[in-house]
Amino acid sequence: MKILFIASVYPRFHTDAEVPWLRKSVAHLVRAGVQIEVMAPSYQGLKSHTIDGVAVHRFRYATRALEILTHDEGAPSKMAGKPWMQLLAIPYCISGFFKCIQLAHREHFDVIHAHWPFPHALIALGACKLFHIPLVLHFYGAELLLLRKKRWIRPIMKFIIGQGNTIVAISHFTASRIQEVRGCKVEWNPYGTTLSRAATFETHPCLDKFRILFVGRHIERKGLEYLIRAASKLDPNRFEVRIVGKGDLTPALQNLAKTIAPQTVLFTGSLSAEALATEYKTANCFVLPAIVDSKGDTEGLGVVLIEAMEYGLPVIASDVGGISDVVIHEKTGLLVPEKDVDALVSAFERIAADPQLSAQLLQGAEAHVREYFDWDKITERQIAIYASCRDSSN
């Protein structure tokens, strides 16, 4: 079986940390005998190349200096308030459309798998119709949340959903949003962790302070402002909040921390894989204080929570988006309302004071991850989706 992945983002070089879960998905599918090729936009003139032995076909859509619509940050965030960048979406779609036809004509794919269907379903549609190739649409949630603010997208989204032979959602939250737009059957298939099994479910040392860890981009939907405000209410002699990563909001967040929680919050910046592993191994709990941001975006699933669980960390997260597929309150972690600083503080203090609760949550998390977020099971479901699409189109 030969599949074309279409995505807005894919690693540009071997050590690129972009979409590691998508890269892992490709690796598992290839290992299972599926032929995968990827089509993704160029980034500042980047030519087609290979990653992990997989062909990555890059399509050009602007001059080198302007090819910055994707990678490093989501396109909706980059385009916000920048009309010139919004205009790049037009050559992006046109160039991708013809590149997809060219690839499909040459490579004879059995299925085209479009990730982030708005707009990649439109890019795939010409090739699918011309060469009778079934189309899998994989939704992550952000574009569906934007429907609340951009009503003109709704009829386009309804049309797009109707073009898919199979609709896949990364979470049950995303599946419900798809069905609000257009009643249809939606397959649920999430992603797993990017960790190797050898490094999972570690034990943690006793530390002088209770370490709370966050890992991720410093963008609005991660809710870091509320984590820092919660940190300001914790005893700095007992607690330490460590924030890994970077983003556009880093300077503002650092200023906020210096003002209200200088003794409690520490920013590490971006870390190597080895240094990040050390952070996980020396933390006592993990937090993802996500919110629905001003653009309507939120967490599609929260794969980082699975990673934290596999490192043996009890997790605390906001009850938004697809997070509840991973964190079942009082069973695999603790859920708090978004933007609720006091609820975050209470959750931290509860975890710190009750080692038995941590052990109970970790036991539940391990069983949950093995059942629903195991890569072998995810890959098996994905292959079954491809086979069903191919058979139904014959």
Residues 6 or more apart in contact with residue 325 via CB below 8 angstroms: 171, 172, 173, 190, 301, 372
Which of 182, 180, 187 is closest to 145 using CA atoms? 180
Q: Which amino acid appears at position 32 of this protein?
A: A
What pLDDT, on a 0 to 100 scale, did the predictor assign at position 359? Answer: 94
The values of phi and psi at residue 289, to 5°, are -85, 50
Q: pLDDT (tens digit, 9 = 90+) per residue, 219-230?
A: 999 999 999 999
The answer to whether 241 and 265 have CB atoms below 8 angstroms apart is: yes
State the Cα–Cα distance between residues 57 and 40, nearest whole angstrom. Answer: 6
State the pTM of this model: 0.86
Q: pLDDT (tens digit, 9 = 90+) per residue, 119-142?
A: 999 999 999 999 999 999 999 887
Containing 4, the helix (H) or strand (E) segment is strand 2-6
What pLDDT, on a 0 to 100 scale, did the predictor assign at position 272? Answer: 87
What pLDDT, on a 0 to 100 scale, did the predictor assign at position 198? Answer: 44
Domains of the chain plus CATH, in order, are 2-192+374-393 (3.40.50.2000), 197-372 (3.40.50.2000)
Please list the pLDDT of the chain residue by residue as tens digits (394 residues).
999 999 999 999 998 988 889 999 999 999 999 999 999 999 999 999 999 999 999 999 999 999 998 887 666 667 666 777 889 999 999 999 999 999 999 999 999 999 999 999 999 999 999 999 999 999 988 778 777 777 788 899 999 999 999 999 999 999 999 999 999 999 999 998 887 644 555 555 666 899 999 999 899 999 999 999 999 999 999 999 999 999 889 999 999 999 999 999 999 999 988 899 899 999 999 999 999 888 778 888 888 999 999 999 999 999 998 999 999 999 999 999 999 999 999 999 999 999 999 999 999 999 999 999 999 999 999 999 999 987 776 6
State the Cα–Cα distance between residues 127 and 134, nearest whole angstrom. Answer: 10
DSSP H helical segments within 67-201, as ranges?
A: 75-79, 83-87, 89-107, 117-131, 142-145, 153-163, 172-181
Q: How many CA atoms lie within 13 A of 188 on its CB side?
A: 14
